[in-house]
């Protein structure tokens, strides 16, 4: 683990080594007490009775005045012992727990809000391989905890907290039927039915392996699922949004209209056209932005993206009279900018798309439903819709083993960047970005041709090695 436990997406590490059962329990105990001390649980649980009517035994916990947490996970084998540790930590701290079982991260976020829970916990390492896992805490309402709260949880790990006893301890209930509530919510957001659309869905052997095919079928699409047989060890292995080759092959061989792929916890989505071409997060945002703008649904005619979004996306948005606000890389920062400005569409090239009219976080299934809905509504292929923007060739080089602090202070690097920008003019750009977690500097160049992008990126990478070693 790094010096700071919490990264941009919770706490992550190799389960059983970095992220142990002991650490998971300590984190959940600290989270319960920090949030309780901050008044985040004020007025909790007692007003949940009506919302909890369909959760069976959980309804009996709702009238006792204890806070309530919902806990979900992806199918990783390590999620079983980590879930047990988190549940034990919360219940021993006086928090009633609803175990949601295997569900996508956005489903847990939605249910945190829909069930009126005081806290949500998701166990997942997203697109990482099976040995990794993570813990993400969600505040009441389903939003990620602020950095300040995460910092306090980390600082107070291991404190000797006063624990409740007797009737003060939390109770644990299973609420495995709540997936249907999430699916029903998604379907209410669709502008049209998806009849006549043939979709291949790649679930990454992850958290969406049941809910995604079911939601698409209930929306009217004809669906074939791949990567939908998780065994606890095969999540993201050869399937999902980071491994699109198989989806591309299946879409073309089946003659499907399109394909969609999620990552392990289904908070992101990428797509594939009927010709097998990849449609990335920038293109998905462009399609949705233009559709929302045409329907007068795009707040302030603005989309929030990160500095890594392709210049072609920004050119297309400007050409349509839309504004683009840029943030640092990470859906956390996109969300912060969206909330601050009141915007309702944002995302990342990686496929994290935030539709804040309907969700509190990136939701791959929601994104795919709305993308397919535009294919159905407009009667055009995904390839046609994606042509609204032209991706400029983009080259990314990770320069490892360097001193990140030297980058900003190097006059030689600044001069090299200036020369590159002058050479590119209005048809490209340069981005030099230190990694937030590793001794590495990322060199990204976009240009009008692949050859030019490679040449400039290699020159800049050599300058970084020479000046920052």
126 is in an annotated binding site: yes
DSSP-derived 3-state class of residue 367: helix
CB 390 within 8 A of CB 446: no
Distance CA 166, CA 168 (A): 5
37 is in an annotated binding site: no
Burial (CB < 10 A; 0-12, 13-18, 19+), residue 143, is middle
- The count of residues in the chain is 469
Distance CA 375, CA 258 (A): 10
Nearest to 13 by CA among 437, 439, 401: 437
CB 392 within 8 A of CB 312: yes
Distance CA 53, CA 61 (A): 11
CB 196 within 8 A of CB 380: no
257 is in an annotated binding site: no
Burial 52-86 (b: 16+ CB within 10 A, else e): beebeebbebbeeebbbbbbbbbbbbbbebbbebb
Residue with tokens 């329990």: 25
Residue with tokens 């905890």: 145
Active site residue 126: yes
According to DSSP, the residues that pair with 323 across neighbouring strands are 302
81 token code pair: 């012992």
Nearest to 305 by CA among 408, 389, 198: 389
Measured from the Cβ of residue 3, the count of other Cβ atoms closer than 10 Å reads: 4
263 is in an annotated binding site: yes
Residue of 44, 92, 126, 350 marked catalytic: 126
450 token code pair: 């692949």
Nearest to 70 by CA among 100, 101, 34: 100
Nearest to 227 by CA among 180, 264, 273: 264
According to DSSP, the residues that pair with 351 across neighbouring strands are none
Task: List the catalytic residues.
Answer: 126
Annotated binding-site members for Mg(2+): 126, 263, 265, 267
């Amino acid at each position: 683990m790094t010096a700071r436990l919490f990264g941009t997406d919770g706490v992550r590490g190799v389960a059983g080594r970095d992220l142990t059962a002991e650490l998971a329990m300590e984190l959940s105990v600290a989270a319960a007490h920090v949030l309780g001390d901050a008044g985040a649980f004020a007025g909790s649980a007692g007003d949940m009775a009506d919302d909890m009517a369909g959760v069976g035994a959980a309804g009996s916990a709702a009238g006792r005045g204890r806070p309530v947490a919902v806990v979900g996970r992806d199918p990783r084998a390590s999620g079983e012992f980590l879930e047990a540790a988190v549940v034990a930590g919360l219940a021993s701290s006086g928090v009633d727990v609803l175990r949601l079982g295997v569900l996508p991260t956005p489903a847990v976020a939605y249910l945190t809000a829909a069930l009126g829970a005081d806290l949500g916990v998701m166990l997942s390492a997203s697109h990482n391989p099976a040995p990794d896992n993570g813990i993400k805490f969600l505040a009441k309402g389903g939003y990620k905890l602020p950095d300040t709260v995460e910092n306090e949880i980390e600082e107070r790990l291991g404190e000797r907290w006063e624990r409740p006893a007797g009737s003060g301890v939390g109770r644990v209930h299973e609420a495995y039927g709540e997936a249907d509530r999430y699916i029903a919510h998604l379907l209410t957001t669709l502008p049209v039915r998806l009849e006549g659309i043939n979709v291949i869905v790649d679930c990454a052997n992850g958290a969406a392996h049941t809910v995604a095919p079911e939601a698409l079928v209930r929306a009217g699409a004809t669906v074939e699922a791949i990567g939908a047989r998780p065994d606890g060890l095969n999540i993201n292995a050869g399937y999902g949004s980071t491994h699109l080759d198989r989806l591309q092959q299946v879409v073309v061989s089946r003659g499907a209209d399109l394909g969609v792929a999620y990552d392990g916890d289904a908070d992101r989505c990428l797509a594939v056209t009927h010709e097998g071409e990849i449609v990335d997060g920038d293109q998905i945002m462009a399609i949705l932005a233009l559709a929302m703008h045409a329907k007068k649904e795009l707040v302030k005619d603005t989309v929030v993206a990160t500095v890594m979004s392709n210049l072609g996306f920004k050119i297309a948005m400007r050409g349509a009279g839309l504004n683009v606000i840029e943030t640092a890389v990470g859906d956390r920062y996109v969300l912060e900018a969206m909330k601050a400005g009141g915007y309702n569409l944002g995302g990342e090239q990686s496929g994290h798309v935030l539709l804040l009219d309907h969700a509190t976080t990136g939701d791959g299934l929601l994104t795919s439903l709305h993308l397919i809905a535009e294919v159905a509504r407009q009667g055009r292929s995904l390839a046609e819709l994606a042509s609204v923007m032209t991706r400029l060739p983009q080259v990314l080089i990770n320069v490892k083993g360097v001193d990140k602090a030297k980058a900003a202070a190097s006059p030689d690097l600044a001069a090299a960047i200036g020369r590159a920008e002058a050479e590119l003019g209005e048809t490209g750009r340069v981005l030099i970005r230190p990694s937030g977690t590793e001794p590495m500097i990322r060199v990204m160049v976009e240009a009008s041709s692949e050859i030019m992008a490679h040449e400039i990126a290699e020159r800049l990478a050599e300058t970084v090695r020479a000046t920052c070693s």
